[in-house]
Structure 1
């Protein structure tokens, strides 16, 4: 059976079982908090998922952008919400990976204060520059960076995945990284396009359309293999830079969320990500279909990410700034 058909077939029985589970939920629109400004990858993925979930759950899923402090402001708001299933958060590699290691007084515990429902997407970074940049390809970018001894990068915020990817790139090249922080990938991309900052490492869904339009020039992707969406872009490793990194995005809710709601929400996410139109959209944005995960799978994943990011943050000597 073709993959799309098989995934859709697996999700179909779940839809039939919903009326018997989590009776009475949802009773009103669901707020999906995105802890970044509009326009970045977290926002793009959240809006795609929200649209699909709204139809499946029978209530609108409204995206609410609450940016700031390394994605901790919006995440804290979700952690403090009533655990009735009407407030969720688009958890991500910054809010539930890097920031807990970066901030000394973070207002939530990434494990204790949340129920982690499903991993929604993973995305490698793409190195982009303004079209006016002297670097026409990755080799020239590397040569210019080493000649200058430093590189200026727009980042979606201190401690974000784009920031850490930039730090790792600078370390691999042996040059200083000057991170210019913004309140999300959207504003950072805007200034990179305008030439205010010469370069950025951003996720494919937000940077990809600008590469296609020519408002940004793609240099390389941070994945282990080339992207099916941009097959002409080399990997950083192909350019002799040993850096592989990816951002991730998931759906989480406040601790205490009733198990019946968690189960129904997980089933809704699974059905949404199994829809052929959704799969096609993911492949268009990311060059790969969405992942499959259960709440227990995603919980273990978040725990592992927390453990992996902490030593990187310490080694880099990062502070919130």
Structure 2
């Protein structure tokens, strides 16, 4: 092959590559083209919803378009996550990825309709926080020891509510029951909001919830905080013991971030990551997270993607050991 032919071929291939890359570049430059949909795969009122609106309300003005939270609850956050996975990868649809949808569901759900890694690009981790075990104020327990005593007095009679089957709090309840040697009946709801409503009303006596979404109800004394699930006491509620210091070897954290359908242009992903990380530095946002009991996490897209992969690996044996499965 002559040098002239090689040069001509290289020119054609370079031009073809540029032509293929041009649409993605143009999309990124003109993005966003309208309101951005942020899918929240749980009902209103839970930690996922709280975090989505806290970040989304500040992200919109930075992008020049509103970020609209859209609650699409069901099946342990897999309904909303499936919708996000199947959306156009144009930066106009995002999802509040979380431990349930992207950490636990890949092992728990036999017929899950998305791959937590292959079908998403993970943009930024927002927060990592402990969970809370709370009870109706009229419930007799004031400590985990009381819960164990009551459960043993009437075996099989004690119910606990969570935001849904397959949530991290569902597994937290199972882990506590196994550690305590008691039986607890899981009552799944379509989100933390309706579960908390029934706990306050006394329909169910106990609830496991993310600390940020439970914090307002705890401070208002609508529910009583029995324990938190972190390795150490929460600075937001320093008087509440952890499960571990109460004698139960249980440590658990929730996490929440923002992801998009796989194939979303890298320039859009990078822009979103930069904007979200700047939002998380805002003193007002930091103060709000502190009040809610959530810890801010700063990650690049590459770091968040690696984090999700690690969480899938961490939770797989926990799910299998629990014996929990969902069709």
Whether TM exceeds 0.5 here: the answer is: yes
Q: Where in structure 1 are there 5+ consecutive unaligned residues?
A: 1-19
2:97 and 2:151 map into 1 onto residues whose CA distance is 33
Structure 1 contact 228–287 (Cα < 8 Å) conserved: no
Give 1:25 shift: 1.0
Give 1:28 shift: 0.5
Partner of 2:20: none
Q: Where in structure 2 are there 5+ consecutive unaligned residues?
A: 1-25
3-state SS, counterpart of residue 251 of structure 1:
strand
Normalising by structure 1, what TM-score?
A: 0.91
Q: Where does structure 1 differ by over 4 angstroms across 4 or more consecutive aligned residues?
A: none
3-state SS, counterpart of residue 280 of structure 1:
helix
1:79 and 1:220 map into 2 onto residues whose CA distance is 36
Give 1:118 shift: 0.6
Give 1:142 shift: 2.8
1:310 to 305, 316, 320: 316
Deviations 1:5-47 (A, max 9, x none): xxxxxxxxxxxxxxx9932111101000000000100000000
1:147 to 149, 153, 156: 153
Partner of 1:9: none
Deviations 1:133-186 (A, max 9, x none): 011233322322333344311011111011000000000000112100110111
Partner of 1:180: 187
Deviations 1:253-292 (A, max 9, x none): 000000100110100111111111111111111254x111
1:308 and 1:287 map into 2 onto residues whose CA distance is 21
Alignment of 1:13-24 (within 5 A): 22-24=28-30
Structure 2 contact 151–184 (Cα < 8 Å) conserved: no
Structure 1 contact 21–264 (Cα < 8 Å) conserved: no
Give 1:105 shift: 1.4
2:256 to 249, 256, 259: 249
Structure 2 contact 96–256 (Cα < 8 Å) conserved: yes
Alignment of 1:281-320 (within 5 A): 281-286=288-293, 288=295, 290-320=296-326
Q: Do residues 53 (structure 1) and 59 (structure 2) align?
A: yes
Structure 1 contact 157–184 (Cα < 8 Å) conserved: yes
Larger Rg: 2
2:96 to 90, 114, 119: 90
1:287 and 1:267 map into 2 onto residues whose CA distance is 20
Structure 2 contact 110–326 (Cα < 8 Å) conserved: no
Partner of 2:196: 189
Partner of 1:209: 216
Deviations 1:198-252 (A, max 9, x none): 1011111111111111110000111111111111101111111111001110100
Structure 1 contact 115–252 (Cα < 8 Å) conserved: yes
1:146 and 1:271 map into 2 onto residues whose CA distance is 50
Normalising by structure 2, what TM-score?
A: 0.89
Two-structure CA RMSD over aligned residues (Å): 1.5
1:256 and 1:21 map into 2 onto residues whose CA distance is 12
Give 1:123 shift: 1.2
Structure 1 contact 22–264 (Cα < 8 Å) conserved: no
3-state SS, counterpart of residue 184 of structure 2:
strand
Structure 1 contact 98–309 (Cα < 8 Å) conserved: yes
3-state SS, counterpart of residue 225 of structure 2:
strand
1:168 to 164, 168, 175: 175
Give 1:70 shift: 1.3
Partner of 1:10: none
